[in-house]
Amino acid sequence: MEVVVLDIKGQETAKKVKLDDSIFGIEPNNHAIYLEIKQYLANQRQGTHKAKERAEIVGSTKKLKKQKGSGSARYGDIKSPTFKGGGRVFGPRPRNYSFKLNKAVKRLAKRSLLSQKVKDNALKVIEDISFNEPKTKNFLNVLNDLNLNNKKSLFVLGESNKSVYLSSRNLKGVKVVSCSEVNSYDILGASDVVLFEGAVDKFQEILRK
């Protein structure tokens, strides 16, 4: 499929880019999307949670009262989980939540999400831009011209561009990444995905591997 390239004012130019149908025109695989999002969120977890169990509580091991004859339940020591300050039964322990996911599945998830964006008319290709100096106002003007001012948007660069990145850093709901840094979580969370013209071929090459 071919997509018209927009200029930074949001107007159509005479240029067009070709998008690979095997990347931007497939039937979305929801299970692949679910798996990669699950892995991404699992990798964000520190897993440092810890609660003391009975053996780790500092306290007397003396039996609180005799076993029989009290007319109430039998008690052990003060570290019992039934008492305030006692150990927790099967409490959380430090663990690693990350899990392995095949690269092919992760690429399929990205292709599925991008195909869905194309179906929703939420994917744009614009000309490469570069600012003489980092200035938030410059990037804000670009957002206004593209009608993305009040939307969450993901901008994909062909290569690192410090002036563009710094110009967007203070804007809420805007994320600028290079094509090698794109993940499914960012694509899913963005209402619109904007590819810079110089990123199209590189991005497609990454997703073909």
Supply the mean pLDDT for the chain.
Answer: 91
What CATH architecture applies to the domain 2-44+99-208? 3-Layer(aba) Sandwich (3.40)
In eight-state DSSP terms, residue 68 is S
Could you give the angle at the alpha carbon of 31 between the alpha carbons of 25 and 35, nearest 5°? 115
Contact call for residues 167 and 134 (beta carbons, < 8 A): yes
Contact call for residues 44 and 97 (beta carbons, < 8 A): no
pLDDT band of 120, cuts 50, 70, 90: very high
Domain ranges of the chain: 2-44+99-208, 46-96
Residue whose tokens read 């990347």: 23
pLDDT at position 209 over 80: no
The pTM (predicted TM-score) of the whole model is 0.82
Helix (H) or strand (E) run with residue 43 in it: helix 30-44
What average pLDDT does the segment 34-62 reach?
A: 94
